[in-house]
Amino acid sequence: MSALIAAPVLLPAFAATLSLLFRRRRRWIGAGVSIGATALLLAIDLVLLGQAATGEIGIYALGDWPAPFGIVLVLDRLAAMMLVLTAALALAVSIHATLTSLDRRGWHFHPLFQFQLLGLNGAFLTGDLFNLFVFFEVLLIASYGLLLHGQGARRLTAGVQYVIVNLVGSTLFLIALGLLYGVTGTLNMADMAVRASALPIGDQGLFRAGGLLLTAVFALKAALLPLHLWLPRAYSGTAPAVAALFAIMTKVGAYAIIRTGPLIFAGAAGRYMIPAALGTMILGFAGFLAARHLRVMTAFGLIGSTAILLVAVAVFQERAMAAALYYLPHTTLAAAFLFLVTDLLIRWRGTEGDAIVVTPGYRGQQVLAALFFAGGIALAGLPPLSGFIGKLLILQATLSSSWWPAIWAAILITSLVAVIGFARAGSTLFWKSSGDAPPSPGTSGARALPLKEAAPAGFLLALMVLLTVAAGPVTAYMEAASHQIFDVADYARAVLPPASGVGS
Amino acid sequence: MIAAALIIAMGCIALAMLLNLFRLFRGPTPADRILALDTLVINSIAFIILIGIQQTTTTYFEAALLLAMVGFVGTAAYCKFLLRGDVVE
Amino acid sequence: MHLILLALLPFLGAGWLALSPRASRDVHAGIAVAHVVAALGLLIFIAPGVLGGAPDALRLPWVPALGLDLSLRLDGLGLLFAALILGIGLLIVIYARFYLSPRDPMGKFLSLLLLFQGAMLGISLSGNILLLLVFWELTSLSSFLLIGFRSDTADGRQGARMALAVTGGGGLALIGGLLMLGHIAGSYELADVLLRGDIVRASPLYPAALLLILLGCFTKSAQFPFHFWLPHAMAAPTPVSAYLHSATMVKAGVFLLARLWPVLSGSDWWFYLVGTTGLVTMVVGAAIALFKNDLKAILAYSTVSQLGLMTMLFGFGTPAAALAGIFHLLNHSLFKAALFMNAGIVDHEAGTRDIRLLGGLARLMPITTALGTIAAASMAGLPPFGGFLSKEMMLEETVHTAWLGTHWFVPALAVIGAALSVGYSLRFIVHLYFGPRRDSYPAAPHDPPLGLWAPSAVLVALTLLVGLFPAVLTGWLVVPAAADITGGTASGFHPALWHGVTPALVMSVTAVAAGVVLLWRYAPLLRAWAALPLFEAKPVFQAGIERLVRAARWLSDTVHDGSLQRQLALLFLLAVAIGVEGIWYGGYSAGTRELLPAPPIAIIAWSLLMAATAAVALVPRQRFVTLIYISVIGLVVSLAFIHLSAPDLALTQISVETVTILLLLLALNLLPKQPVQLSSNPERVRNLVLGVAGGVTSGLAAWAVMTREPRNPISSFHWANSYSGGGGTNVVNVTLVDFRAFDTFGEIIVLGIAALTIFALLQPAARGVSGQRLRAWIADLPRSPERHPMMFAVAARLLLPLALMVGLYVFLRGHNAPGGGFIAGLIVSIALLMQYMASGFEWADQRRQIDEHALIGFGVIIAALTGVGSLVFGAPLFTSAFGYVSWPIVGKFELATAMLFDIGVALAVIGAVMLALAELSHIAQRAQKEPVEDDGPMDIDPAKLRGARP
Amino acid sequence: MKRLLPHPGLTAMLLLIWMLMLNSFSMGGLLLGAFFAVLIPVYTAAFWPDRPAMRWELPLLRFVLLVIRDIIVANFHVARLILFRRNRDLRPGWLAIPLELHSAEAITLLAGTISLTPGTVSVDISTDGRHLLVHALDVADVNAEIAHIKARYERRLLEIFR
Amino acid sequence: MTVTVIADAVIAGLLLLGGGFALIGSWGLAKLPSLMSRLHGPTKATTLGVGSCLVASVVYFPVHGGVWTAHELLITLFLFITAPISANLIAKAYLHGCHTAPGEQSMMAEGMPDAAENGADWATFGYDDAEEDPLSVPTGAGGKDPSA
Amino acid sequence: MSIEFLVATAIGALTAGGIYLCLRARTFPVVLGLAMLSYAINLFLFAMGRLVVGKPPIYAKGVAVYTDPLPQALVLTAIVISFGMTALALVLALRTFLETGTDQVDGTPDPDLLDRENRT
């Protein structure tokens, strides 16, 4: 298979270093390199998506070392989907950050941004567990940098927690990896899947512990109860545009669970993940309702909607997984969209930041209200946006789980809570204030053409609309992807060369 | 003969390390602890050499070399901290 | 295709209106009217075929995975409903054009109205129950915006939120219900579902599905006890009320009851749930309506009551009752829309809607009075208007209905309800239009312009005509609709003003008489009503929401209290629990590997480590001393690596350790030096317990793995191919730069990013709060005056080249012996840092001749280019190549691309470490209040001193 | 030449060290070592701005041998003190050694020598650079000890550092 | 044969010597009364101890390993360069601590050193009466170990 | 007493100490705890290749007994990464201390802080 598979990893590396080396030159070079590379990345990812859509699992053996021994990149439908999603999101966020001059509020925004993409793409592509760890670290450490971008006391205090919790998470990751290697003697996921099935009973306890621990680490990234405590402060503390990019971060955890669960651990963690996800959902939407600031609200909304996704994942069945896969891009885009809208609110409103309080009217309020309304619909999972379809899919698919009454109750009730929360926030933010006098020239309303700043958010919204309109093909793709995920034998066949000397 | 001497030497080093440990904990001043650490590093170098002789391999000598260099940097940094509070100024 | 166009037309209109905000009011109205008329025309065009018994249907696949198709279907029921929506919608648009004040944004209003209309039309056209759900939720959302159109008033906002909460919540229940229904029926296609009523009713899930669906219907149709949102939705502009509460929004629930009637009805569940709810709602709504003073509130509660009536009829589960229900639905739409418009006119012209301030309008507003009176009479069920006919049919049905075995219960309540409705209708007429003329009204009442009253006149005319010629006028519409409801068997539709003396007529007369009495004795009744311990639903609802929010806040704040300890404790606890769980459920057997005997020195090193560990954790001392203990741990770990055949690890550990200590010392300078006792004793115990548990678990896990034989690890391949395939004998290094070069690539990036982030963090530290704090910082340790001791500076000069040489050597040999780019990079960094330490930041910084950012960048680029370079030779990325070159004098030596890669690693490492440490020391620099005079590498330079003082 | 070989002595020493590290002789190794040995001083020259004039030949070698001898002797001496002398019988004391040496390098070398040899550790230098503070583990006569150090080491160093 | 025996004897002797000196140095570290005295142990005895081991190794490898190594010499060189500096810095740190925390001086048998003859202060604690007194920070415990 | 026992107990002790420190309420001990944990992890990961004395992973023809090189390579990567992470955490802790004047991490209720920051 072509070297194009590695492009999503290498391209950001070059873009990052280039914009790093050009940091002393004109600012726009860095921004241009970053945005251009992201757009190119999106194009490449789309090509890859086209390749993956054929059902063939693309394998790229780095260094020409065959599968279990060297590191291989694996491009299947799931990975391709994640890549495209990431690139699309990144494109919107990078443009938004440049338009709003976020990248000038501190050092090294664009290099960090590109490195973040590198980590994300690497994590989605790799077929090797330790390599997954490395890319997790890349994306985490880049996320630390981005999280702290612009700084300020609140961001820093939130950052300390985020960093330290994730550091401990990395530690556990390594323990899990060690155990798995110690028991199976391999690091390649496919090889591990093959070997795990042949494991003597005496070793299975250790293997299970390793697998569960790994899942716990992924759950930490995915912000699953009780490991979600870091998220609200971190995401609400950082710049909203950065938080928008971070919407994909919880999905990396989800992705890793999706990838490793069926492949290696046969869904052993599902029995714990379902109640945890239900709890997360409740806590997430409780926080959503409780929030006094829009970004806190969005952060909690992200937790809650990710939990909905994880419930479907935790069932570990093909249909539910397909539903989860459809919901995944939606929740990512929705949360990111709302974060971008929050950022616009902070910028356009001019006073009170993102606090959910009444302020005088300002220019662009109507547009913002419309965007906010769309964001609310998206995050609460109401029609006509894709969240509704996603939610229906999940509800439908989880019927086969013995947990279904609880799942249904949780999803439906939290949706109602989300609706109430949005109505409250929206009416305070946009209705109470609109009766006031038109903006005085001194406020931000006087700024020329702020509307173009809404373009990236509009792009995300358009993606959600696309996701809705094209729900048929998309769900078909996701069903195929889900089938591929559960077809362990096929995966192993594709990854491992037929005559692997040591394999098993 | 060498084997016996090695064992004795290693025993001596081990004892020496224990003594260093004593000083390390006993103090009483921070300088004492730094000194104990410094000595511990030097004893470790000896220990590495002895392991090398025992296993008849030179593979570990770089570690000893590095330890000699780096142990000094550590000691200097600690002392600098006590003297100035600021290690690099 | 017609159906698609039909479904799309309102949305197209809405979109057009939304995109042309600057057009004039008339243009806006024109656009809206054009779209509605077009839709209506299309409907009429389709209608004959549908009424002829051939439902128009269209199905396009949308989400096959979900069973959600773009399936549109127009049958008799849908046609009736769509006709109401579009017909009344048209009148409302016209009415709104004249009703709204010039200040109101007409375009936005009509856009929302059409959006809502589209959603409603969608409900009536949906041929797929999931598609119906989509439109259902859309009506909730668009009605939210419509109700909240007057967002500058608190009532408007609260009413909108309440409506959204209740109907949206119901909608969510409906999601569950319909999904279940489709699951039971095996299809979400309405046509299929309708055929499978028996299967559905037999399913164990049926009660649950029914309950959920009914929740959706009842909330939407404002059935008791969910009725309270409707009156508050009256805060909307009157055209909205007229539209939402007559023909559309609230009818959606009833429509759905009718739509699913063949599937769901026919069980006791259905009868008792639906019938009883409707009955109670009818009575309760009517009673409240009687005592309301706001015109729109009266109408709102009357709507509640009338909806209850319809619900009850559908609940009876008989075809005749369903027929009556659908007929009443039609009638109600006509008179209620007219009444709302009428109330709007009164409000518009008289300036108030409070019935107590009004009265005697008959002379002032004769047209309005005439129209209002007729419509209200129809509402009261007086002949010869449409309302009378359907009410007769209703009363007739109640007579045949037994409730829990009693035959009098339903009729009795029905009569009471009817009486009450007569009461409020008469009150509306008498107290508003007739009676004494007031001396003053808030405004001067007069009849409105034609545009305002004409729409209601149309409706009033219709209601009169329906009353006079029911079968002719409505039969063609109602009978097919009823047939569709009941599944093709409509019972006879014989509405007539005179059936002879039937029980229904008796009941009707009783009701009218009672209604008159009610109005006659209104004052004492009002007092009695006021004395009743009734509560207003709105404050209760709002208090409920507030309580919910408070509970959410409590929960959220309690759980997310921002304590790092809690998070970490949970994480560790979970890890330990997982270890236990894994072994417990997974199975475990002890290992069989032969153990290595421990020599005494190992035991001593071990005890060193244990002691140092215990000291770090348990002995509360100066932080500085703790660092020394950490150093001991690092040293022992390095020794362990050496003893256990891992020289590369030892080298790395030793050098990393030093750099870490340097970092810690640099940071500690600005941090508090003494630990502050913050943890309470229980916390310490908790920490200790968790620590020990974690330690035991990890130790046991390590023991468990170490004591069992390895299972043919993949590293045997690495061992075998290291030299032949990777060109190096140091398998660890070959693994790093070749087998797993991709890992290393990521690793240097991590390091680079860490340094960049540190840089970005510390650069702005001199500004703002932290800058103030830095400048106010006082060295809290006593400081010796000498900054750069002479001997140290001199030694550092000598050590720098030596260390660089060693670094180069370690780098070059890395491929074949312990060493490599990473370690070499660290050695070089340490050597340079030594200069910084010995001679000061400024002095060394001027001389370092390297740009760390560039180093990091070039390091990564070199590594990446090395990886990409192999593509040129047709090999996959990161493929290494090596060869042995023989040059004349030089001799034979190896060249490997891996070495190039390693150069990248080394450069990145140097750049990263230097950047991080230099920045960190730089920040301390800024804290110095004394200006740093950069004179030389050492404070006391004897040569210079003597030169100065010969 | 000065730019290329700022420290010829250092270059030689580095080359020697390189060959020592290589453990085996090869022409390629030598060339590479020479390359590095030239390169490194060029880079580090900035860190060593004013190097003292120094004689690299016999006197230095003699001095080194003397010091090695003294170190061995001193070790036995100190060992005896540690092992057999009771703590309270030790006579520790401070020696303030007046310096005739100029350059920092020379003084450092002296101080290092003092530290490595019998029972003495150099501790500090005076702020005017004219005295070296030395601690002695067991000293009977302070002045005699000072004279001994000056005669034995400083005189020789004065020969080396002209 | 005999060469080997002699070499072995030398090696063994050196090893014993090395181990012995290392032990003595550390013994001194543990036993001697004040830091200034303790400093002597490691700087000399331990250095020589390591040195002996290194020399032993230099002799050992050509004889038994068949390779000739010189890394040990390099290690020795490093140690000889660094040991006096370490000692110097530790002593300075100690004196500085004593100077700023007068309570500790009592532990020194030799007392604090006097100023140099011409009145110049020692670098570590000069500026005693200077206006810009770095010790003006009102803390007595800064450099002092509370356990003392 | 076997080396395996020593290593296992050492890992246990380091983990215990690391966890204990991590649960302290100040940033500095937490960072130290992370450092200790990373020692523990390095040893742990290393131990997963089983322990072998005196057989460094330097390839030579005919050598059949060797220590597993792969965990060593992994540990190397892990050391480097955890070094970068620790450095970052430390600097972040310092920076936060400078910005906020406190190095507490046990959760201070900070709605005020949020409001203040939003206003500026």
Instruction: Classify residue C889 as exposed, middle or buried by CB count within 10 Å of its CB (0-12, 13-18, 19+).
Output: exposed
8 Å CB contact of D115 and E87: yes
The tens-digit pLDDT sequence of chain D (162 residues) is 566 677 777 888 888 888 877 777 777 778 888 888 888 888 888 777 766 677 667 778 888 888 888 888 878 888 888 888 887 778 888 888 888 887 888 888 888 888 887 678 888 888 877 888 888 888 888 888 888 888 888 888 888 876
Query: With contact defined as beta carbons under 8 Å apart, do D46 and C847 qualify?
Result: yes
- pLDDT at residue C121 tops 50: yes
8 Å CB contact of B72 and E65: no
Residue A450 pLDDT class (50, 70, 90 cuts): confident
Please give the C-alpha separations between residue F43 and each of A30, C568, C711, F6, in angstroms, as whole numbers. 41, 21, 20, 11
ipTM of the complex: 0.91
8 Å CB contact of C784 and E78: no
Nearest-CA distance C375 → chain A (Å):
35
CA-only gyration radius of chain B, Å = 15
Q: Are strands C68-74 and C56-63 parallel, antiparallel or unpaired?
A: antiparallel
- pLDDT at residue C98 tops 60: yes
Stretch 771-790 of chain C: residues touching chain F, C-beta under 8 Å: 773-774
Q: What is the predicted pLDDT for the residue at A115?
A: 92
DSSP string, C112-144: HHHHHHHHHHHHHHBSBHHHHHHHHHHHHHHHH
- What's CA C925's distance to the chain center, in Å? 48
Instruction: Classify residue C766 as exposed, middle or buried by CB count within 10 Å of its CB (0-12, 13-18, 19+).
Output: middle
Touching pair D, A by Cβ (3+ pairs < 8 Å): no
Average pLDDT of the segment spanning F69-91: 90
Residue C153 pLDDT class (50, 70, 90 cuts): confident
Average pLDDT of the segment spanning C259-287: 89
Q: Average pLDDT, whole number, for chain E?
A: 73
Give domain limits for chain F: 3-119
Q: Are strands C882-887 and C891-896 parallel, antiparallel or unpaired?
A: antiparallel
Q: Which CATH class is domain F3-119?
A: mainly alpha
Average pLDDT of the segment spanning C389-415: 85
- pLDDT at residue F120 tops 50: no
Q: Which residue of C has its CA nearest to E130?
A: C785
Residue A253 pLDDT class (50, 70, 90 cuts): very high
Query: With contact defined as beta carbons under 8 Å apart, do E121 and D130 qualify?
Result: no
Out of E91, E114, E121, closest to residue D121 by CB: E91
8 Å CB contact of A157 and F85: no
Average pLDDT of the segment spanning A115-144: 92
8 Å CB contact of D112 and C945: no
- pLDDT at residue A240 tops 80: yes
Q: Which residue of F has its CA nearest to B53?
A: F54
- pLDDT at residue A90 tops 80: yes
8 Å CB contact of F99 and A141: no
Residue listed under structure tokens 């007929």: C327
CA distance C670 to C536: 62
Residue F119 pLDDT class (50, 70, 90 cuts): very low
CA distance E43 to A93: 60
Q: What is the predicted pLDDT for the residue at A130?
A: 92
Q: Is the dihedral of CA C491, C492, C493, C498 positive or negative?
A: negative
Tens of pLDDT, residue by residue over C776-823, are: 777 667 777 777 888 888 888 888 888 888 888 888 887 777 778 888
Q: Average pLDDT, whole number, for chain C?
A: 85
Tens of pLDDT, residue by residue over C834-877, are: 888 888 888 888 787 778 888 888 888 888 888 888 777 777 77
Nearest-CA distance C929 → chain E (Å):
12
Please give the C-alpha separations between residue C478 and each of C51, C79, C308, C490, C504, in angstroms, as whole numbers. 10, 10, 20, 10, 21
Q: Which domain holds residue A339?
A: 3-489
Q: How many structural domains compose chain A?
A: 1
Out of F11, F27, F87, closest to residue C699 by CB: F11
Q: What is the predicted pLDDT for the residue at C891?
A: 65
Residue listed under structure tokens 């946006």: A385
- pLDDT at residue E111 tops 70: no
- pLDDT at residue E144 tops 60: no
Q: What is the predicted pLDDT for the residue at F114?
A: 44
Out of A107, A188, A227, closest to residue C759 by CB: A107
Please provide residue C885's backbone torsions phi and psi, each rounded to the nearest 5 degrees. -110, 145
Which residue, among B13, B62, B80, would best test binding to C if mutated, counting the most C CBs under 10 Å from its CB? Answer: B62
Chain D residue numbers with beta carbons less than 8 Å from the beta carbon of E53 are none
The more confidently predicted of residues A474 and C231 is A474
Q: What is the predicted pLDDT for the residue at C877?
A: 78
8 Å CB contact of A177 and F114: no
- What's CA A74's distance to the chain center, in Å? 19
Q: What is the predicted pLDDT for the residue at F118?
A: 43
- pLDDT at residue F8 tops 90: yes
Architecture of domain B2-84: Orthogonal Bundle (1.10)
Please provide residue C21's backbone torsions phi and psi, each rounded to the nearest 5 degrees. -70, -15
Tens of pLDDT, residue by residue over C673-699, are: 776 655 677 888 888 999 999 999 999
Query: With contact defined as beta carbons under 8 Å apart, do E114 and D96 qualify?
Result: yes
8 Å CB contact of A290 and C553: yes
Residue C889 pLDDT class (50, 70, 90 cuts): low
Q: What is the predicted pLDDT for the residue at A80?
A: 93
- pLDDT at residue E67 tops 80: no
- What's CA C333's distance to the chain center, in Å? 36
* Whole-structure pTM value: 0.91
Query: For residue A412, how many C-alpha atoms fall within 13 Å in the half-sphere facing its CB?
Result: 24
Residue A502 pLDDT class (50, 70, 90 cuts): very low
Give domain limits for chain E: 3-97+107-114
Tens of pLDDT, residue by residue over C752-767, are: 889 888 888 888 877 7
Nearest-CA distance D59 → chain E (Å):
19
Residue C934, SS3 per DSSP: coil
Tens of pLDDT, residue by residue over C696-724, are: 999 999 998 888 888 888 888 888 888 88
Residue A331 pLDDT class (50, 70, 90 cuts): very high
- pLDDT at residue C411 tops 70: yes
Tens of pLDDT, residue by residue over C478-531, are: 888 888 888 766 667 777 777 777 888 888 888 889 888 888 888 888 888 888
The strand ranges marked E within D103-157 are: 120-125, 131-136
Chain E CB within 8 Å of residue C632 CB? no
CA distance C683 to C874: 61
Q: What is the predicted pLDDT for the residue at D38?
A: 85
* Residue A309 resides in a domain: yes
Touching pair F, A by Cβ (3+ pairs < 8 Å): yes
- Subunits close to B (at least 3 CB pairs below 8 A): C, E, F
Residues 6+ apart with CB under 8 A from A114: A12, A13, A15, A16, A19, A34, A37, A38
Cα Dmax for chain D: 60
Residue listed under structure tokens 């389709």: C46
Residues 6+ apart with CB under 8 A from C596: F2, F3, F4, F51, F53
Lowest-pLDDT choice from C52-61, C385-394, E94-103:
E94-103
8 Å CB contact of C818 and B88: no
Residue A149 backbone zone (phi > 0: left; psi -120 to 50: alpha; other: beta): beta
8 Å CB contact of F43 and C648: no
- pLDDT at residue C346 tops 60: yes
Chain C CB within 8 Å of residue A367 CB? no
* Residue A503 resides in a domain: no
Q: Which residues of C touch D (CB under 8 A)?
A: 790-791, 793-797, 800-802, 804-806, 808-809, 812, 835, 839, 844, 847, 849, 887, 889-893, 937-938, 940-943, 945-946, 949
H/E run at residue C541: helix C537-559
Nearest to residue C218, comparing CAs of C253, C169, C175, C176? C253
Chain B residue numbers with beta carbons less than 8 Å from the beta carbon of C837 are 73, 76-77, 80, 87-88
Stretch 8-47 of chain B: residues touching chain E, C-beta under 8 Å: 8-13, 15-17, 19-20, 22-23, 26-36, 38-39, 42-43, 45-46
Average pLDDT of the segment spanning B56-73: 86
H/E run at residue C891: strand C891-896
Q: Which residue of D has its CA nearest to E24?
A: D79
8 Å CB contact of A283 and C581: no
Out of C596, C664, C769, closest to residue F3 by CB: C596
Out of D7, D40, D129, closest to residue C805 by CB: D40
Chain A residue numbers with beta carbons less than 8 Å from the beta carbon of C109 are none
Tens of pLDDT, residue by residue over A28-84, are: 788 888 899 999 999 999 999 999 999 888 888 888 888 788 889 999 999 999 999
CA distance A180 to A186: 8
Average pLDDT of the segment spanning B27-52: 88
Which residue, among F92, F110, F113, would best test binding to A if mutated, counting the most A CBs under 10 Å from its CB? Answer: F92
Q: Which residue of E has its CA nearest to D19?
A: E70
